[in-house]
Amino acid sequence: MSAYDGAITVFSPDGHLFQVEYAMEAVRKGTLAVGVRGTDCVVLGVEKKSIAKLQDPRTMRKIQMIDDNICVAFAGLTADARILINKARLEAQSHRLTLEDSASVEYITRYVGGVQQKYTQSGGVRPFGLSTLICGFSPEGAPQLFHTDPSGTYSEWKANATGRNSKAVREWLEKHFAETTGGEETAKLCLRALLELVEPSSKNIEIAVVTPGGTTTLTNENVDALITKVEEEKQAAEQEKKDKARQRAEDALATAGGN
């Protein structure tokens, strides 16, 4: 244990705030969350923890609404997320009451980042042990996806992942990302990223599609149907790859025989 990790406001000699780094480690141990921005929608997908047989799954949702036009997914401590999301909801309602207009996605993201940063700079508190993916639509109607972390940093993304093994999923997204049109195609891309680490079942996956008309959470049947489509497309792509490789080998043998 370091001598500098007991107080949140004390820097170590090499410039670290250990409590913030420990909060980021809590995020890395959390369930995976993925966000993908399309041309006309944003899709959030999360890994669901297994729950007790008699537990109501509605009390353990990792995707929640902040306002009518803003949706959030998180990775990390669920109890911390409940407090932070409630603060964001209050700010959204205060903004609506004061200005008679809904808060923008960037405004709420900036507020959430500000609250998280405040809890890294005050004595007697600890950082929030979660990171968030906040999405919605700009006043101009463009889809937006933001990410915040326990240090209070926020940034906008085309696609991102947070939670366990998020670095590997982010690298996968960098290789395969392409802006898609329509909720189903964007949801497929998000689902393919999740399936890199998560078992293919609606018991383990929750997906929400955010459009200008509102947010739709896919039912278990829809998630299973989407998983089936993704698995079939993956198998077809692998078969096509094998066929091309075999054809190249046959052409090479034919060329060698002709010589």
**Cβ-proximal residues to 147 (8 Å cutoff; 6+ apart), any chain:** 35, 131, 132, 133, 134, 154, 155, 156, 157, 160, 162
Q: Residue 259: its pLDDT value, please?
A: 60
Q: Residue 2: its pLDDT value, please?
A: 62
pLDDT of 157 strictly over 90: yes
Query: What is the secondary structure of 161-195 as a DSSP string?
Result: EESTTHHHHHHHHHHH----SSHHHHHHHHHHHHT
**What does pLDDT average to over the chain?**
89
pLDDT of 207 strictly over 90: yes
Residue 137: band (very low, low, confident or very high) from pLDDT cuts 50, 70, 90: very high
Please, what is the end-to-end C-alpha distance for the chain in angstroms? Answer: 71
How many Å apart are CA 89 and CA 95, to the nearest integer?
10
Mean per-residue pLDDT, 130-143: 94
pLDDT tens-digit map of 95-127? 999 999 999 999 999 999 999 999 998 888 899
Structure tokens, 167: 């670095």
Q: How many CB atoms lie within 10 A of CB 50?
A: 8
Q: What is the percent of the chain where pLDDT is above 70?
A: 97
pLDDT of 3 strictly over 80: no
pLDDT of 140 strictly over 70: yes
Of 136-145, 177-186, 209-218, where does mean pLDDT reach its minimum?
177-186
Of 6-20, 23-37, 135-149, 224-238, where does mean pLDDT reach its minimum?
6-20
Q: How many CA atoms lie within 13 A of 90 on its CB side?
A: 8
Instruction: Identify any residues that bridge with 146 across adjacent strands, giving them in sequence order.
Output: 134, 156
Q: How many CB atoms lie within 10 A of CB 78?
A: 17
How many Å apart are CA 1 and CA 145, to the nearest integer?
37
Query: What is the secondary structure of 33-89 as a DSSP string?
Result: EEEEE-SS-EEEEEEPPP--TTS-GGGG-SEEEEETTEEEEEEE-HHHHHHHHHHHH
Q: Residue 8: its pLDDT value, please?
A: 73
pLDDT of 153 strictly over 90: yes
How many Å apart are CA 149 and CA 153, to the nearest integer?
6
Q: Residue 237: its pLDDT value, please?
A: 80
How many Å apart are CA 163 and CA 73, to the nearest integer?
11
Local structure of 7: helix, strand or coil:
coil
pLDDT tens-digit map of 65-83? 999 989 999 999 999 999 9
**Cβ-proximal residues to 34 (8 Å cutoff; 6+ apart), any chain:** 44, 45, 46, 133, 159, 160, 161, 169, 173, 190, 193, 194
Q: Residue 79: its pLDDT value, please?
A: 93
Structure tokens, 29: 């141990």
4, 137 in Cβ contact below 8 A?
A: no
